[in-house]
């Protein structure tokens, strides 16, 4: 054993694993402290059947009625007004407070061990979607962003999920980001959507296109991202994937922005 390996082992031994959010000692690497756990707002039924928006704002009685009415098409106002391009989206917890801290630690810190907890929560929230999934695709980062951040956090999650479901195809190359952030200023809603779609592409060079067809054509594809914000990115990706032949495009994220 060289000195560095010995030193690293010693440090591991001396320093207990710490919560990625609060820094307090926890039992095992990747765990979060009880305080953070208590503050997380996990998303449970009832929620919008299309985009997964939690209906927490309903009165308790209405919420119970909604849960008891399984056949009811529960849709949020946004989905009623503008049905999303993706077929269904689910998220594990609300992106605020501890949930937001956790995602930021995952995104900007080197807290890669958080991937285990995030994967498990995402599997729980997305059980119904994962049952139908053939192909897993992470939302790509533009290579300039990838260079700055060193890793694509969505790809980490998607790969961890793929390891849990060996029957699925993991296809990180099936979708590319062609522009970092498309300029949206002065564009109408429709133009913005079109503009956003042009930020993504299924690669067209011969070999990858052939493999893209194999992983997309008539397949149920699930997109993986870290946060569901407005749904615009997921919609743009879904449009491109459907154009390339995907049958259904679902979306799964650990966190979800919910405007109160
Ligand atoms: Zn909705």
Distance (Å) from CA 73 to ligand 1 centroid: 11
Tell me which DSSP letter residue 231 carries: S
Q: Using one digit for the tens of pLDDT, what is the confidence trace for 14-63?
A: 677 888 788 888 888 777 888 888 899 999 989 999 999 998 755 455 55
CA dihedral (9, 14, 16, 22) in degrees, to 10, reads -110
pLDDT for 125: 96
Tell me which DSSP letter residue 138 carries: E
Distance (Å) from CA 80 to ligand 1 centroid: 7
pLDDT for 65: 53
| Higher-scoring residue by pLDDT: 77, 65 | 77
Q: CA–CA distance from 118 to each of 34, 125, 253 (Å)?
A: 16, 11, 9
- CA dist., res. 238 & res. 234, Å (int): 6
- H helices of the chain, in order, are 3-14, 34-39, 60-68, 77-81, 98-108, 114-125, 127-132, 143-149, 153-164, 189-197, 206-216, 232-243
Distance (Å) from CA 231 to ligand 1 centroid: 10
Residues with Cβ within 8 Å of residue 60, at least 6 apart in sequence: none
Q: Residue 218 phi/psi, 5° resolution?
A: 60, 20
Distance (Å) from CA 54 to ligand 1 centroid: 9
- Residue 13's pLDDT band (cuts 50, 70, 90): low
Distance (Å) from CA 51 to ligand 1 centroid: 4
Distance (Å) from CA 77 to ligand 1 centroid: 7
- Domains belonging to the chain, first-starting first, are 1-29 (no CATH), 40-256 (3.40.50)
Distance (Å) from CA 151 to ligand 1 centroid: 30
pLDDT for 193: 81
Residues with Cβ within 8 Å of residue 253, at least 6 apart in sequence: 89, 90, 91, 92, 122, 224, 225, 226, 227, 228
Q: How far is CA 16 from the centre of its chain?
A: 30
Distance (Å) from CA 16 to ligand 1 centroid: 42
Q: Using one digit for the tens of pLDDT, what is the confidence trace for 178-195?
A: 887 777 788 887 888 888
- CA dist., res. 211 & res. 67, Å (int): 42
Identify the CA nearest to 122 among candidates 250, 259, 260, 23.
250
- CA dist., res. 99 & res. 93, Å (int): 7
């Amino acid at each position: 054993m060289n000195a560095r390996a010995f030193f690293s082992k010693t440090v591991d031994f001396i320093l207990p694993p710490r919560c990625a959010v609060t820094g307090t000692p926890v039992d095992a690497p990747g765990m979060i402290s009880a305080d953070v756990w208590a503050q997380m707002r996990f998303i449970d039924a009832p929620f919008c059947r299309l985009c997964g928006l939690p209906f927490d704002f309903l009165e308790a009685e209405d919420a119970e009625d909604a849960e008891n009415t399984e056949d009811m098409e529960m849709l949020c106002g946004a989905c009623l007004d503008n049905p999303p391009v993706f077929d269904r989206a689910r998220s594990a917890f609300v992106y605020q407070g501890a949930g937001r801290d956790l995602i930021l630690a995952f995104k900007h810190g080197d807290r890669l061990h958080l991937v285990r907890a995030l994967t498990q929560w995402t599997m729980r929230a997305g059980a119904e979607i994962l049952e139908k999934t053939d192909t897993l695709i992470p939302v790509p980062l533009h290579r300039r962003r990838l260079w700055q951040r060193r890793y694509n956090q969505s790809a980490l999650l998607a790969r961890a999920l793929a390891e849990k479901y060996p029957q699925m195809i993991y296809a990180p190359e099936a979708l590319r980001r062609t522009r970092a952030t498309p300029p949206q200023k002065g564009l109408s809603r429709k133009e913005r959507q079109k503009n956003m779609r042009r930020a993504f592409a299924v690669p067209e060079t011969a070999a990858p296109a052939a493999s893209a067809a194999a992983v997309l054509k008539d397949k149920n594809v699930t997109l993986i991202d870290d946060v569901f914000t407005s749904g615009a990115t997921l919609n743009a990706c879904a449009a491109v994937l459907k154009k390339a032949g995907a049958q259904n495009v679902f979306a799964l994220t650990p966190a979800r922005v919910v405007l109160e």
